Structure 1
Amino acid sequence: MRPLILALFLPALAVGCSSRENYLSFVDYFPGSPDTKVILTAPHDGWIRLESIPDRRQGCYDSSTNACDWRHDCSGVHVEGKCNAVTNSDLHSSVLAKEMRKTISELTGETPHLVVSRLHRSKLDPNRFMDDAAQYNSVAERAYKTFHGIIKRVHNILAAKGPAVHFDIHGYVTHAADNWTEIGYNIRTERLNANNFTAEESSLRALAARAETRGIDFDSLVRGEDSLGRLIQEEEFRVVPSPEYPRPDVGKEEGRPGKYFRGGYITRKWGSLEKGEIDAVQIEFPQWVRDRSDYYGPKLGRAMATWIQKFYPDD
């Protein structure tokens, strides 16, 4: 299915942009079925490097407020390890998302929504607050608002139908020693390692409350028999958290600690952490999975479809 941007769906926000800089060309929206309970996003697989948008770069750090100034003409200092701007793309993550979406559709009978950012991450990072994401460039800011505006409208559609789930699809290349799939529920690494975490701090807060009424505790939902991790594990992936790898610190190889990412801005903003019935999950895949999306996408989609049918069934 070709991506659609419908005039009825989005307001005309691009007044003043040239056709080359029309914000509509920076986001792909693939509509879902009317009764789907699922949205997928891929914010970091964009390829457009528009010259009119400066490359994102390290911000100035203010030690007195522990804050970053992301303006390119900021007058503060650049401090190593502070206010860094990650600009590498999650190559082929949107391709993987499309393959998973296809399988979820086939197995559940409902096609998820999919939103993809087309700007390269060096120009825009939709998985950040806007100041960091767009660094005060007006075109990048419009693209950012478009990306999140589509998500908001889709969430409004989903919320009207009851509980739903948002999968944010990512990738990594920097810690291949672990070589595993990381499922982020907004639980900090140290909390997972200490076996000391709660539903209230997670982007699955709403699901946890519903699962509890079915006798399913939160630990099982995150890394036990009722977890998405178990289903992906059964498709022959190494995945954390899961029954096999319940904590990041069990993934040590060659003396290196296990790496893990709990999820970013999209997971916290659009999940049920603070309110609502739409949960969010960020999933990080190693590059070798994304390079073979045609093979691994259906396997992952099968695991996700099973989890969706269990916890987000059709009414």
Structure 2
Amino acid sequence: MTLRRSLPGLAAGALRISLVLSAVPAATATSPAKAQGPTAPTVSEQQVMPHLRALQHIADRNGGNRAHGTKGYADSVAYVKSALDRAGFRTRLVPFAYDGTTGHNLIADWPGGDPEHVLLTGAHLDSVKAGPGINDNGSGSAAVLATALQVAKSRLKPERHLRFAWWGAEEQGLIGSAEYVKKLSGADRRRIDVYLNFDQAGSKNTRQWLVIHDDEHGETEAQQAFEAWFAERDIPTFDIGVGGSDHESFGNVGIPSSGFSTGISDCIHEACDDLSNVDPKTETTSTDALIGVLWKLATAAPRR
């Protein structure tokens, strides 16, 4: 990922984050109305970590990375798409050109839900050329994939239409997400109620989850839901506004956003960002948080 300002205390070259609120414990967050609809499932490490192991194997057999324009990225997309196709999603690869090479975004729609109210959940799937990118951002990609597969397993019947996305060439400057947004009509942009973004979901030594605060729209329904989920489990959060992660492309055109990160590891954008750079417990907690909030937002009547 490419980000602009450093969170105090983090190593140089780490995620550049612009803070928008003071650090507060999750228990102080404003709680939204009680969840509607079915109870969200949870996952085990055994349902999430195999996706990260698969991405590591893909990198290992393709020069050590999964970067834009490489076979490692193409194989990563093929792995995710195959899992979604088997689960019953409608998938499509959306090509774009960057730096003389064709890249792809992967879009997956779950049948049903109001097409005028889309809940879009995404993560960037590419790594840098220096390493396999298992925390940045295999971890976010795996959490989104595991969540989508839970939707299929539960045969969820959402109020909002559910769409999932994996972006390419984000490490080159948020290229894939920007290309997707650019090709949306004005009407299609208005149909997206909120975009949920997940970048580095499995960082080791995580003590608090960094919940995205939408700089333009303020405290969104999604942000409230994330903070409530963590507060119910006595997990501290920190509200952040992020310049440079994938959701920036959506914010630039007025689409509300939230999501979270678990912060930066010392191995960001390096060869050591491998499977050993992810904490399985953190990755599982992140996936459960995503599932819990997605269930809440998907099964509640849209606010607008």
TM over 0.5: no
Larger radius of gyration: 1
Q: Per chain length, whose mean CA-contact separation is higher, i.e. which structure has more relative contact order (CA < 8 Å, sep 6+)?
A: 2
Q: TM-score, normalised by structure 2?
A: 0.29
